[in-house]
Structure 1
Amino acid sequence: MDKIILKNLRFDLAVGFDAWRRFGKPQPTLITLEIQPEVNFEAAAAQDNVNLSMDYGALYKKISGGLQGGEVFPTVHALISRLHTVVYNFTKLDIDILFPKALLQVNGGVLYQFQVDNSGPGVAISTLSVTVKQIACNCIVGVNPHERLYHQSLFIDVTVPLMTAALGSEPPEEPYTVALHDMVREIVEKVDGSAYHTLEALATAVAQIVTINYGHKAVKIRIEKPSAIATIEAAAVEITRTKTFFENKDFWKVKRP
């Protein structure tokens, strides 16, 4: 599997809403592309000839030239579509778009991951997901006596598939983008007021918020607990749940110490 990679192209782009829910305001944007061309690099390597490979310098110029001039992209889909049209003659294309300051109370930003797979026969398969990275929360969590006394810092990642062959497409992005702000605020408010013995129970409760309250068909939740063990960076759990899992169930019980 041979690839050309352009990592972390940096722009200030107006894409949808910023952290303050203002439409059309430029914000820092990092774009990474991984391209698997239709022809591998064997001939280019054998002859040491750049003309037999994909010219990533020319590709960079096309991308950067097409993203200047103060254009407003109403949704991230519009930005992805622009990037997609620049790349050609590929078997697989991965586009990662990170908005590091897209949401308040989020340390790691918002990451959109788009992939097009042309390797199989017939129609190309496209997938798109969004990850809210490191939602900063504080709560009582743990089984040890000292953990029942003080709030600990937690970092929560929420990953939602927006487009897959199995699940189909989520609702249009305009209301979804605004709902991201509401979802993060609700998660922070409820986690900050809770007390759990296990990260597993807390992660399941957060998954219920995302699927039931915000209508997503599936979600992956990752929670890191930096203070769990003094000699490691963090302990973490990661779960994946569907909306149907929570039918006739209620995992959100705001427990007190």
Structure 2
Amino acid sequence: MDKVILKNMPFDIPVGLDAWRRFHKPQPVLITIEAQPTSTLEPAAAKDDVNLSMDYGKLYKKVSSSLKAADPDAFPTVRALISHLVDLVSGCGVLDIDLLFPKALPQSTGGVLYRFQVDKSEIEVDTSSLALTVKQIACNCIVGVNPHERIYKQTVYVDISIPMVDPAVGVGAIEEHYTAALHDMVQTIWERVEGSTYHTIEALATAAAQVVTVNYGHTVAKVRIEKPSAIASIEAAGVEITRSKTFFENKDFWKVKLP
């Protein structure tokens, strides 16, 4: 389980849509690579010789130079960028790539995080997975059971995590999630949370999961909601739920609206 790690490499790259739904506009991205070499790092440790390891300095220069010299049209989608990064890392069994776009959506204070893993440890078999998380959608709403919470709106932060059914990467891969559909989904969640008056964040989280699965067709969604103002002495209180699309058959959780 030895790993070589490059954490939060900052770049400005035109990838897919920016926060204002424009193509070919550079946007900040933080790239993290965790590579598990096919051989252990023990020889490098035993002889104190970097040449016996996967040299992270050389890997960083390789990644940096390739992205800085990339054609503006090289990464029309996030999947194309992931594929490019996978090709740059050789000699590893398991590769994890995190792409954080901190300003990808105007409603999200935490940005959009893509997590890709490919396992090449089995001969002639590559297993991969891809998921995204929209972090900290900031909303103001009536939520809570206390009398003062029924009078004043408070800020809540909503995280939405979605596993991609198709983990394929590359220029030709379908990019259904990082198009206007993702922007539309987050806008819908923001509008509905802002317009709600639930007593519990459990119900609010379930309603958000319904939007993601039923309205936008994702098979499953993990929703995390935090209330920073719930308990004065701690950073936040919250809940996290995971709901599938089939869970919402014959159910409707948008029962509470503004009076």
Of 170, 190, 197, 2:199 maps to 197
- Are positions 1:71 and 2:72 aligned together? yes
One-letter code of the match for 2:129? Answer: T
Residues 223-247 of structure 1: CA distance to partner in whole angstroms, max 9, x if unpaired? 0100000000000100011111111
Give the drift of 1:176: 4.5
Indicate if the aligned counterparts of 1:126 and 1:164 stay in contact, CA closer than 8 A: no
- SS in structure 1 of the partner of residue 218 of structure 2: coil
In structure 2, do the counterparts of structure 1 residues 163 and 56 end up closer, same or farther at CA, with 3 Å as the change threshold? farther
* Misfit runs of 4+, over 6 Å: none
How many Å separate the matches in 2 of 1:176 and 1:39?
35
Structure 1 alignment gaps of length 5 or more: 166-170
Q: Report the TM-score, using the length of structure 1 for normalisation.
A: 0.94
How many Å separate the matches in 2 of 1:113 and 1:15?
16
How many Å separate the matches in 2 of 1:121 and 1:196?
52
One-letter code of the match for 1:245? Answer: F
- SS in structure 2 of the partner of residue 132 of structure 1: strand
Aligned-CA RMSD value: 1.6
- SS in structure 1 of the partner of residue 121 of structure 2: coil
In structure 2, do the counterparts of structure 1 residues 99 and 236 end up closer, same or farther at CA, with 3 Å as the change threshold? same
Structure 2 alignment gaps of length 5 or more: 168-172
Give the drift of 1:66: 0.9
Q: How does 1:15-30 map to 2 (within 5 A)?
A: 15-30=15-30
Residues 18-66 of structure 1: CA distance to partner in whole angstroms, max 9, x if unpaired? 0110011000111000011011111111111111111111111111111
Aligned length: 252
Give the drift of 1:253: 1.7
Partner residue, 1:40: 40
Give the drift of 1:173: 1.1
Indicate if the aligned counterparts of 1:63 and 1:86 stay in contact, CA closer than 8 A: yes
Q: How does 1:61-140 map to 2 (within 5 A)?
A: 61-69=61-69, 70-72=71-73, 73-120=75-122, 122-140=124-142
Indicate if the aligned counterparts of 1:223 and 1:236 stay in contact, CA closer than 8 A: yes
Indicate if the aligned counterparts of 2:77 and 2:178 stay in contact, CA closer than 8 A: no
Give the drift of 1:252: 1.7
How many Å separate the matches in 2 of 1:201 and 1:64?
45
